[in-house]
């Protein structure tokens, strides 16, 4: 068991990143996946001019963010993958 490299929560989930076992919790892994999938869908939409790709969550949700670890990048919603807005 280790601490997630994104949010710091305890996790038993480990990913192989640069041939090293890196602990990343399921919530953060899902947020990263959603961010990458949305980016890929956007690129494909621009490339293929697909207009019927919906990248937004189907239900109205309240964004949830992982704990801050003073990282230089914005925290992402664990549901939709959108970055946290600075309020």
pLDDT digit string (tens) for 3-34?
999 999 999 999 998 999 999 999 999 999 99
Q: What is the pLDDT of residue 42?
A: 81
The secondary element (H helix, E strand) that includes residue 12 is: none
Residues in the chain: 87
- Tell me which of 54 and 47 has the higher pLDDT: 47
pLDDT of 53? 47
| pLDDT tens readout for residues 52-63 | 545 555 567 777
Handedness of CA 56, 38, 43, 69 (dihedral sign): positive
Per-residue HEC secondary structure of 46-65 comes to HHHCCCCCCCCCCCCCCCCE
Please tell me which residue, 5 or 81, carries the higher pLDDT value: 5
């Amino acid at each position: 068991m280790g601490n997630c490299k994104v949010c710091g929560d305890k996790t038993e989930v480990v990913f192989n990143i640069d041939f090293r076992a890196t602990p990343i919790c399921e919530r953060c892994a899902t947020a990263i996946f959603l961010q990458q999938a949305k980016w890929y869908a956007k690129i494909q939409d621009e490339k293929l001019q697909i207009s019927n790709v919906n990248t937004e969550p189907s239900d109205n949700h309240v964004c949830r963010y992982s704990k801050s670890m003073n990282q230089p990048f914005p925290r992402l919603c664990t549901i939709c993958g959108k970055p946290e807005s600075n309020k």
